[in-house]
Structure 1
Amino acid sequence: MTESDNALAVQTLRVERTLVIGLNRPDKRNAINAELTQGLDEALNLLDDDDDLWCGVLTGGPAVFCAGADLAEGPGEPTDRGGYAGLTSRERTKPLIAAVEGYALGGGFELVLSCDLVVASRTATFGFPEVKRGLLADFGGVFRAPRLLPPNVALEMLLTGESLDAERAERLGFVNRLVEPGLAFDIALGLAATICGNAPLAAREALTLARREIHGDEAAAWEASHAALARLLASNDVAEGVAAFFERREPRWTGR
């Protein structure tokens, strides 16, 4: 990444025709706040709009890809072009590869679900801990995970809050490349270079048609997800779940 970007929540770097997008809140485990949302939106707008860029790689830190939404600050408002975190409901035509080392949890996992290919280190772990806080995976996880993983596996993750390790994720077909620790970024960048060696217009047409087949029209799913979250946010259990998280104790659920 460039030195001038060191203070930013999201860093960018051009590597030939690939745009590297790096999450950069290591002290907060790359949790999604308003600054990170804005940075991701700007970086992805650049990828979308610059004709000299043909592919993107989204990466996090060596121990944590992204721990999800920042419970203290909130994730910021959805952006006009990208939705939550500037990515989750974005209409894209250029391939985006997730390079994952360590934890990708909650909104962090939903960032990965929003990408097209996944390169994961053997240290990578994917999960939806929202249910442990009285919440649900409202950045698209509740309806995308059952499409991209076996439905029973997705349901287990959503209902238990337990995580999925990279090796099992690769066996299930979710991870494209399973690599040794520390190599996720390099392998993802090589995969991007392979994609950029092909005709860009053909790749974009193929991606558009494939994404339409996989995801279809998600408008109704987003509406239902937001409505479910609104019901949960009105509950006592959400306040208890968040309080228990910050107080480092087990929550006392009431179902109200």
Structure 2
Amino acid sequence: MSSTLVTRPPQTSIFRLSFPVPHVLLVTIDREKSRNAIPFTGHFEGDAIFTWFDEEPLLRVAVITGSGNKAFCAGADLIEQNARASGKEELPKTNVFPPSGFAGLSRRLGKKPVIVAVNGFALGGGFEICLNSDVVVSAPNAKFGLPEVNVGLYAAAGGLSRIARSAGLQVASELALTGRHITADEAKQWSLINRIAKSQESVVAEALDIAQLIASKSPDAVIVSRAGIREAFETASMERASQVTDQRYRGALIQGENYKIGVKAFSEKKTPEWVSSKL
């Protein structure tokens, strides 16, 4: 599929990009020896990749996972941080993160959905990616945690506010203040992940199954539905969130080609053939 893309993906040394099924981007963090910890440059590479993903007409859903079988992402590259803290390396002249956060994902607003396939440890920034993703599929043996307090830091990439909103004050406090790891079962119990895969080996395949299902729906409707959910998550008033989504998207959705395709296919009892979203 990469040969049929309308635009060229950005260059990256941290991530591996592939296109395993139509309309789906698979992003693999390619630092297995470092447990897929993300160095400083990786945050900006991730931002570039997911900005490009949102604008590439042929892509509808992204899945992100880690290389190897031990870690999805162990967080920030603390070896690099230690070198900078000790003066062995120069401190970055820009912000540590882009506005979209850790790996370009932990504070990403975005337009299209991102699914996380957690194939091992998801710690620190790796867990913060999960907390801001649309769907999380976890290997049975995966572990999650915010261990920043163990090294004199805090979860600075947006994870504290998101885990408090998703799991509540007490759960968020326990995890952030103790730094302990939790199991996939605990994460699911606290609504921090969607499902636990049948096995570690199947986690990416199961995430791709969800991605394919989403990609089979109207791209316009997926974008607007995601925006409405996000608005509600970020807004104190549920009714105000509904108003904002309606005012921002209803007109363009109804006037768009995919709406006409969808209702025509329904009336004719045919499978709709969607076109790229213009939202």
Same fold (TM over 0.5): yes
Corresponding position: 1:52 with 2:58: yes
Task: Give identity over the alignment, percent.
Answer: 34
The equivalent position to 2:212 in structure 1, one of 168, 175, 193, is 193
Write the deviation string for residues 208-250 of structure 1: whole angstroms up to 9, x where unpaired: 1101111239xxxxxxxxxxxxxxxxxxxxxxxxxxxxxxxxx
**Hey, what does 1:63 align to over in structure 2?**
70
Displacement of 1:83: 3.4
Partners of 2:142 and 2:119 lie apart in 1 by: 5
Partners of 1:81 and 1:127 lie apart in 2 by: 23
Q: Structure 2, unaligned stretches of length 5 or more?
A: 3-9, 85-91, 237-279
**Hey, what does 1:30 align to over in structure 2?**
36
Write the deviation string for residues 11-62 of structure 1: whole angstroms up to 9, x where unpaired: 1112310111110111111111123223312221221110111111011132
Corresponding position: 1:13 with 2:32: no
**Hey, what does 1:128 align to over in structure 2?**
146
Displacement of 1:177: 1.7
Displacement of 1:66: 0.6
**Hey, what does 2:125 align to over in structure 1?**
107
The residue correspondences of 1:1-256 to structure 2 (distance < 5 A) are 8-14=13-19, 15-61=21-67, 62-74=69-81, 77-78=95-96, 80=98, 82-179=100-197, 180-216=199-235
Displacement of 1:156: 0.4
Counterpart code for 1:23: I
Partners of 1:104 and 1:40 lie apart in 2 by: 17
Write the deviation string for residues 165-207 of structure 1: whole angstroms up to 9, x where unpaired: 1012122222212112221100000000000111111111010
Q: Structure 1, unaligned stretches of length 5 or more?
A: 218-256
Q: Do the aligned partners of 1:101 and 1:121 also contact (CA within 8 Å) in 2?
A: yes
Tell me the number of residue pairs that the alignment of Structure 1 and Structure 2 aligns. Answer: 213
3-state SS in 2 of match to 1:73? helix
Distance change (3 Å), C-alpha of 1:178 and 1:119: same
Write the deviation string for residues 107-130 of structure 1: whole angstroms up to 9, x where unpaired: 111111121110001111110111
Counterpart code for 2:187: A
Partners of 2:125 and 2:99 lie apart in 1 by: 18
Distance change (3 Å), C-alpha of 1:170 and 1:71: same
Partners of 1:131 and 1:191 lie apart in 2 by: 34
Q: TM-score, normalised by structure 1?
A: 0.77
Comparing 201-210 and 33-42, the one that deviates more = 33-42
Q: TM-score, normalised by structure 2?
A: 0.71
Larger Rg: 2
Displacement of 1:87: 2.0
Distance change (3 Å), C-alpha of 1:12 and 1:140: same
